[in-house]
Amino acid sequence: MENNQDFNAGFFRKIWLAVSSWFISVGLAIADFFKNLPSYIAALGKKIWGAMKDFALGFVHGNVWEKLSYVFMGFGNIGAGQYIKGALFFLIEAGFIVFMALTGGSAFVGFFTLGTNAQSTGDVVDEWGNPVVTHGDNSLLMLLFGVCTILIIVAFIVIYFSSVKSGRQAWDVKRKGGRPASFRKEIFDLFDKKLYKTLLFLPILCILAFTVIPLIYMILMAFTSYDHEHLPPASLFDWIGFDMFGQVFSSAKIAGTFFPVLGWTLLWALLATVMCYFGGILLALLINKKGIVGRPVFRTIFVLTIAIPQFITLLTMNNFLHIDGPLNTLLMDWGIISQRIDFLGSVAHDALLPRVSVLIVNLWIGVPYTMLITTGVLMNIPQDLFEAAKLDGANPVTMFARITLPYVLFVTGPYLIQQFIGNINNFNIIYLLTGGGPAVADYHIAGKTDLLITWLYKLTIEQNDYNLGAVIGIYTFAASAIFSLIAYSHSSANKNEGDFQV
């Protein structure tokens, strides 16, 4: 018994040490990054300088065809006998010029002006009561088209440089007495040696269209005056620089909401992650205990709860925990409580109870997941470790803390990081359970259980303050990005990637 006490004290000290050393290493990693920043920049500069020198020297030393390819893309390839490839490059150049002349040029200018003619609606309304739209610029669309045009320009520049390089390589082969690869051979390569290019082309295009462009678009909104007073197409918005970024800290109302909401978001993410994790491990240990009867039944019950679409689970829970809902009824009938409890804070203003409720509902949702994940991991722990510990007279608690927990932690490190980030952005659970409530007067459009992500939703979709929403989004995103990049580079999975590869 005494031994056990000692061990527990040691165990907590060890956890505390591990956590604090992790924070120290995160700090060191950040410091390292900034210390090495000048050398990164120097290396990058050197690379660019080298590329520019090559580019200029290529022109000086090249033959007529190569020189021509600096103005007419693809001529280097055509001269070297790669007619189809050269023609394709030339077509791209022609297409780009036509695009810029027709729409790209004005879209590019529009990106900077964001529109100059405001809509002149006056008081004219149509039969449905909507204002009649007469000529006016739509800042929102101009920003979007501007972003797309800039991406097209960047893509063109990349293709331009690669066309010059491709022409020179073809001539290098020719000068050495060889024959540049035929078009057929290059297409064949795209399905063999360079298959990765073929495989990645479509997915990257999709990522650009549905993730990268929207992301850039949203980030840019943070630098504009796009709020409820400047809603296109009725009125224009404009570039305002870093004003909004400062306002989050300087405006008393917004800062007074941002910091408490940020604090609760981090606390929530930490508690939700840790609680689900340990709950899941304990459940897995219970289910996999030797000699348990009906293991498949229990496991199926928990898998069943995972498979239910989450909005159904959450809306059911919302009604189940309602102040007039069945849980209160059951507890009253059984005589456990004498007064109905406001679990989700729909009536009262107390923050603690709804916060505990969302954590517990999250436990209900998250524990079966962790249970499934750790079950596999638990099976893989070498059994002789336990045998040896048993011979040394270790009790179950000791074995859990000394063998099981470290092993599971080591293997599922990446999962913990994913869960933490996932919980920071856990929109559904808050939105569907409490809606962010209980609302408080001294917050700017937020309630006590609002996370940054649900606050952002209220600011944008409900209040139309897109610029403030974008700033909050950038801060949230930056926090989770920095956290997980450092965590990943310190976690075991990243270091072991090479082990699987030959």
Partner 1 sequence: MKKTGLKARRIAGNVAAEVALIVLSIAWLIPIVWIILQAFRGEPGAITYTFFPKELTFDNFARLFRETLFLRWFGNTLFVAVCSCVLSTIITLMVAYAMSRFQFKMRKPFMKIALILGMFPGFMSMVAVYYILKAFHLDGKLVSLILVYSGGAGLGFYVAKGFFDTISASLDEAARLDGATNWQVFWKIIVPLSRPIIVYTALVAFMSPWSDFIFAKVILGTNREQYTVAIGLFEFLDTTHKSTMFTCFAAGSILAGIPVELLVIFLQRYFIEGITGGATKG
Scan residues 455-474 and list those touching partner 1 (CB under 8 A).
456-457, 460-461, 466, 473
Place of tokens 């944008």: 460
Stretch that binds partner 1, among 1-9, 28-36, 51-59, 207-215 (CB under 8 A): 207-215
Q: Considering beta carbons, is residue 351 or 409 the nearer one to partner 1?
A: 409
DSSP notation for 79-112: HTT-HHHHHHHHHHHHHHHHHIIIIIHHHHHHHH
Q: Considering beta carbons, is residue 7 or 302 the nearer one to partner 1?
A: 302
Q: Considering beta carbons, is residue 15 or 315 the nearer one to partner 1?
A: 315
What is the rounded distance in angstroms from the CA atom of residue 154 to the CA atom of residue 166?
18
What is the rounded distance in angstroms from the CA atom of residue 412 to the CA atom of residue 427?
24
Residues 319 to 358 in contact with partner 1, rule: CB under 8 A: 319-320, 322, 324-326, 329-330, 333
For the bound state, the minimum distance from the C-beta of residue 481 to partner 1, rounded and expressed in Å, comes to 5
Q: Considering beta carbons, is residue 89 or 431 the nearer one to partner 1?
A: 431
287 binds partner 1 (CB under 8 A): yes
Q: Considering beta carbons, is residue 59 or 386 the nearer one to partner 1?
A: 386
- List helix spans (H) across 222-320: 243-250, 252-287, 295-307, 310-320
Residue from the set 306, 348, 381, 399 that interacts with partner 1 by CB under 8 A = 306
Return the number of other C-beta atoms located less than 10 Å from residue 434's C-beta. 26
Which of 192, 195, 216, 168 is CA-nearest to residue 56? 168
Residues 19 to 78 in contact with partner 1, rule: CB under 8 A: none
Residue from the set 130, 196, 352, 384 that interacts with partner 1 by CB under 8 A = 196
Angle at 15 between CA 13 and CA 21, to 5 degrees: 100
Which of 77, 100, 102 is CA-nearest to residue 89? 77
Helix (H), strand (E) at residue 26: helix 2-61
Helix (H), strand (E) at residue 483: helix 466-490
- List helix spans (H) across 346-437: 352-379, 383-391, 396-399, 405-411, 413-424, 427-433
For the bound state, the minimum distance from the C-beta of residue 249 to partner 1, rounded and expressed in Å, comes to 21
Residue from the set 292, 356, 388, 397 that interacts with partner 1 by CB under 8 A = 292
Stretch that binds partner 1, among 52-60, 84-92, 124-132, 477-485 (CB under 8 A): 477-485
Stretch that binds partner 1, among 45-53, 121-129, 197-205, 442-450 (CB under 8 A): 197-205
Residue from the set 301, 347, 356, 388 that interacts with partner 1 by CB under 8 A = 301
Stretch that binds partner 1, among 45-53, 252-260, 435-443, 453-461 (CB under 8 A): 453-461
For residues 389 to 428, the per-residue mask of contacts with partner 1, x marking binding by CB under 8 A and - elsewhere, is ----------------------xx-xx-xx--x---x-x-
Joined together, the tokens standing for residue 132 give 């009649």
Residues in contact with partner 1, counted by CB under 8 A, come to a total of 101
DSSP state of 321: T
Helices 252-287 and 352-379 cross at an angle (nearest 10°) of: 40
119's CB contacts (< 8 A; 6+ apart) are: 133, 134, 135, 136, 137, 233, 234, 235
315 binds partner 1 (CB under 8 A): yes
Q: Considering beta carbons, is residue 35 or 194 the nearer one to partner 1?
A: 194
193 binds partner 1 (CB under 8 A): yes
Residues in the chain: 502
Residues 130 to 159 in contact with partner 1, rule: CB under 8 A: 140-141, 144-145
DSSP state of 496: T
Q: Considering beta carbons, is residue 78 or 142 the nearer one to partner 1?
A: 142
